[in-house]
């Protein structure tokens, strides 16, 4: 029985595993975590809208339903391409076919101060850490008598006008205005600022102009300060610096301005493109190794003169294609080159509002929001997770309440009591 190893159980890895399960091949799933993470909803964990466990699902719970599939919790350190072995923290594993879908990490573009002080959302613990930061600052602000220091604590700078930055900004300002304003009556809501900073002249660049403008206007009506043509170039624990020299006192910088290939890509001796992504052939294999497929955010795949974006729909279609290609080779068949079918894009801008474009249709407002809800529920793994999220969304929709306002991490060290 031929062995297929899939590295990374993100959207691409899961799609590949589903296609290969029960097809007469031994499938090994490798990941550093024992769960699949639904990354598009991480921002809702960070803004106290969802519990962590509602957007994660155990990989073994999926694998046990897939015949001839095994999971190994391990760290993949590299690949011996000539010896056809995956190098892991538990030792090498041989393969006949390999699908690498290790995803991406945040790209700070070499700005070390920003990498040191900014928050991002790539892992489950990132969302919990950011939620603790937001709620913790409100607790500190209640006790702060200096108005300038208090205002800095309640200023949140979000960098990047893509879907993550827009969705996080909208969710955060709603958390502040509808929930935390009631939790902290001692604080004035006017002291809180949510700033969405974009270096280019537009947000949501994948959307048509009318939807981009709708998003900007909607965010501003909600209370988000949208700053276009503005770049952040430096950061410290209590301020950020714009390219024009403006200094914004803040304790929270959230960075969603770029991604690059996961570190594993750098450990592979293969040709690279921008962002450390691995160049792939039209069939998603790499030059000289027809048994190795790179899918998802790690793959640099050109189509119609442009590189495919690092988004979940691309990863899912790539994962499905790689699996079908392997099965075709086993039957001495060939598939046509991979081609991504763009089914559109969407972004939510808060309660009852979103933008969506698909198949030539442009939607905004509540209809786009309902489409966004349906699509995300469809791609979630696990019936229980869907029920939990529906309940949370319904509760917030009708009562403007978010129940997951938990500070779950505290600073190390014994408590300091002031007896004077």
Q: Are strands 289-294 and 97-100 parallel, antiparallel or unpaired?
A: parallel
For residue 95, give the 3-state DSSP assignment.
coil
Region for residue 91 given its phi and psi (left: phi exceeds 0; alpha: psi -120 to 50; beta: otherwise): left
Rounded to 5°, the CA angle 313-61-72 comes to 85
Separation of alpha carbons 217 and 201, rounded Å: 14
Q: 28: Cβ–Cβ under 8 A, 6 or more apart, which residues? A: 3, 4, 5, 6, 69, 70, 71, 72, 93, 95
Q: Are 245 and 87 in contact (CB under 8 A)?
A: no
Separation of alpha carbons 249 and 191, rounded Å: 12
Alpha helices in 175-311 (DSSP H): 181-183, 209-222, 263-267
Query: How far does the chain reach from its first CA to its final CA, in angstroms?
Result: 75
From 167, 191, 198, 238, active-site residue = 167
Annotation marks residue 167 as catalytic: yes
Contacts 24+ apart (CB under 8 A), 372-377: 372/346, 372/347, 372/348, 375/346, 376/38, 376/40, 376/41
Separation of alpha carbons 56 and 355, rounded Å: 26
- Write out the H or E segment, with its range, that includes residue 373: helix 366-379
Q: Are strands 56-58 and 35-37 parallel, antiparallel or unpaired?
A: antiparallel
Q: Which residues are catalytic?
A: 167
């Amino acid at each position: 029985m031929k062995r297929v190893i899939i590295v990374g159980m993100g959207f691409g890895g899961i799609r590949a595993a589903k296609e290969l399960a029960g097809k007469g091949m031994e499938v090994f799933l490798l990941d550093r975590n024992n769960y699949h993470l639904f990354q598009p909803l991480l921002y809702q964990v960070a803004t106290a809208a969802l519990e962590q466990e509602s957007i994660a699902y155990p990989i073994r719970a999926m694998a046990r339903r897939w015949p001839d599939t095994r999971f190994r919790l391990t760290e993949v350190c590299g690949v011996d391409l000539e010896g056809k072995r995956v190098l892991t923290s538990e030792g090498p594993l041989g393969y006949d076919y390999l699908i690498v879908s290790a995803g991406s990490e945040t790209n700070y573009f070499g700005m070390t101060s920003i990498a040191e002080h900014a928050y991002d959302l790539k892992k489950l613990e990132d969302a919990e850490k950011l939620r603790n930061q937001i709620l913790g600052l409100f607790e500190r602000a209640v006790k702060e008598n200096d108005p300038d220091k208090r205002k800095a604590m309640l200023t949140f700078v979000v960098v990047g006008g893509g879907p993550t930055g827009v969705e996080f900004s909208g969710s955060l300002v709603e958390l502040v205005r509808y929930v935390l304003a009631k939790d902290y009556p001692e604080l004035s809501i006017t002291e809180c600022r949510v700033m969405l900073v974009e270096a280019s002249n537009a947000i949501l660049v994948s959307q048509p102009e009318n939807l981009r403008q709708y998003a900007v206007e909607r965010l501003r009506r909600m209370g988000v300060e949208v700053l276009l043509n503005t770049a952040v170039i430096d950061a410290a624990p209590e301020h950020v610096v714009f390219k024009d020299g403006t200094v914004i006192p803040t304790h929270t910088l959230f960075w969603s301005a770029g991604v690059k290939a996961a570190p594993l890509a750098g450990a592979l001796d293969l040709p690279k493109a921008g962002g450390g992504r691995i160049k792939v052939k039209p069939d998603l294999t790499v030059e000289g190794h027809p048994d190795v497929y790179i899918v998802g955010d790690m793959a640099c795949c050109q189509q119609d003169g442009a590189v495919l974006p690092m988004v979940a729909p691309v990863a899912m279609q790539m994962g499905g294609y790689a699996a079908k290609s392997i099965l075709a080779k086993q039957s001495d068949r060939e598939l046509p080159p991979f081609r991504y079918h763009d089914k559109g894009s969407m972004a939510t801008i808060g309660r009852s509002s979103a933008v969506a474009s698909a198949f030539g249709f442009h939607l905004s407002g509540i209809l786009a929001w309902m489409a966004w809800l349906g699509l995300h529920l469809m791609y979630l793994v696990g019936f229980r997770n869907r029920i939990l999220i529906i309940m949370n969304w319904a509760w917030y929709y009708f009562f403007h309440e978010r129940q997951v306002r938990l500070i779950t991490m505290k600073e190390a060290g014994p408590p300091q009591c002031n007896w004077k």
